[in-house]
Structure 1
Amino acid sequence: MIYRDRADRLVQTVLAANRSYLLGWNDGPATGDVYRSGLPHAPLNGVVRLAGRAPAEAYAQAGVLLDGVPRVWWVGADSDPGTAEALEALGARLVNRLPVMVAEVAAASVVPEPSGVSIEEARDIGEFVTAYAQVSGIPPEAAPRAAEREKTFGHAVLRLAARLDDGRIAGTAEAWFTDGLVTLYFVGTRPDHRRRGIGAALTQAVLRRAAVRGIPMAALTSTPIAVPVYERLGFHEISRYQLYAF
């Protein structure tokens, strides 16, 4: 029972951190658990949970607030029971199931550094966002606006770039420090440089910097295909999100 309580608390802490990051993309007055960046990229507009409200009411409000932009609804362990079924009944469509994974920073495995790549902190936010936009599906014309939103995060965010010998950025990782842990976002590698271990090396670099800051736990929401990469680093699944389009 004690172990289960600790596990439940960890899940809630991780999901709270994810909510905090996503709500940071909201470009305008706060609207509860709805965030709207206005960018043409579904994960950057949406609802982070449904808690304490009638599904039909919340669904109708979200539709108005997010009208005109691609959006998703995150259904996780922090949402009211029955949320997924209620959304489906209202017309939402399940588009993905995403594992939520954590690792103890001090116990993380060590992976080899890829040759011809140096990992460094990104100082030019515009260049960094342009790089992750290329692999995350954000249209090039939207990158400047995304960079402006990124600037509002301040020192809560660490941005790492995997830079090639010729200066180009081959991969990115963004680290969000809150709630006593670090969560990772925009971990991606350009298609022509994949399968070189760049994503794993970027994740490892985040963990090392977290250790310096005294952060004991790291978390991320993985795509199913990337799970083996994170498992090699010591991450394991503790929960799962269902993502709905609506």
Structure 2
Amino acid sequence: MPPIEAPDAFSLYVDTHLARAASSFQSERLAWFRTGAPHEELNGMLYATSADLNAAGTELAGVPALWHSWPERPEFDVEAQLRARGFEFVEEEPIMTLAFGSGSGEPTAARPGPATVRRVETERDLAVWEEVWRGEAPNPATLRALASAGLGANRTVHHLLAEVDGVAVGCGAAVVAGRTLAVEHIVTVASHRRRGIGSQLTAAALAVGRSHGARHAILTASPDGAGIYERLGFERREPVRRFVAPTATG
């Protein structure tokens, strides 16, 4: 089998975010997605030229959102313009990709560990998932947005729960967009960290991708977590910097 060509990480990132929302837009100059949930990770301006920031603001009015700036892409490096508008910096993370079948430590089966990982199939389980992810009681509006893309036969988001002795201790998500899988929302509760549960969830998400014929996986990682994903075969591609509007802070 010939080697799988390295993907355009930027395009994969955009595609897997557009896939999770009923309302979205993409052109050469602007891309945004909106689930309507009151959580900034579920709405966002994915890229924009400086001239298109006002249009993005109109589309994302009324919901918290993450606004992206791309330091290595001059046309979409809008950090200065966002800061001038009062936006606040949240984080910089590397985009990382993995080509399925490339080896490099890529997990090929369920990863052993202390937790049992299963897919979420009911709204009740999805409420548990949200509580683990957010660290607080589920929000009905967020739950509705999660369910619209994450339940049913045609779902694009496959939510995962990690359980120990029947208690949820971690969560993750696998977003399928065509031949691409995004690994998202990997969270382990504080009492069970550093036990390999995050790696179990990542391996389970990758298994979802394989079952849907994905050729590439993509994720973003905190600086501290990037090494874990590199050991699983992911490669760093380019950084993305995220901001929130002034009304979304505090």
Same fold (TM over 0.5): yes
CA distance in 2, matches of 1:50, 1:41: 21
Q: Secondary structure at the match of 2:48?
A: coil
Gaps of 5+ in 1: 1-5
Show the counterpart of 1:199: 198
Alignment RMSD: 2.9
CA distance in 2, matches of 1:238, 1:225: 16
1:155-199 CA distance string (max 9 Å, x none):
33323221222x222222211122412111121112222111111
Q: What count of residue pairs does the alignment treat as equivalent?
A: 230
Indicate if the aligned counterparts of 2:160 and 2:201 stay in contact, CA closer than 8 A.
yes
Indicate if the aligned counterparts of 2:97 and 2:217 stay in contact, CA closer than 8 A.
yes
Show the counterpart of 1:119: 117
Show the counterpart of 2:84: 89
1:112 Cα deviation from its structure 2 partner:
5.2
Q: Which has the higher helix share?
A: 1
CA distance in 1, matches of 2:177, 2:65: 24
Instruction: Please show how residues 11-30 of structure 1 align to structure 2 within 5 Å.
Output: 11-21=9-19, 24=21, 26=23, 30=24
Instruction: Please show how residues 30-179 of structure 1 align to structure 2 within 5 Å.
Output: 30=24, 33-51=31-49, 55-56=50-51, 58-76=52-70, 80-106=75-101, 107=103, 108-110=105-107, 113-115=112-114, 117-136=115-134, 140-142=138-140, 143-151=142-150, 154-165=154-165, 167-179=166-178
1:152 Cα deviation from its structure 2 partner:
7.0
Instruction: Give the TM-score, by structure 1 length.
Output: 0.78
Q: Secondary structure at the match of 1:60?
A: helix
1:238 Cα deviation from its structure 2 partner:
0.5
Letter of the structure 2 residue corresponding to residue 60 of structure 1: N
Indicate if the aligned counterparts of 1:99 and 1:221 stay in contact, CA closer than 8 A.
yes
Quick check: 1:190 aligned with 2:183? no
Gaps of 5+ in 2: 246-250
CA distance in 2, matches of 1:237, 1:185: 16
1:201 Cα deviation from its structure 2 partner:
0.8
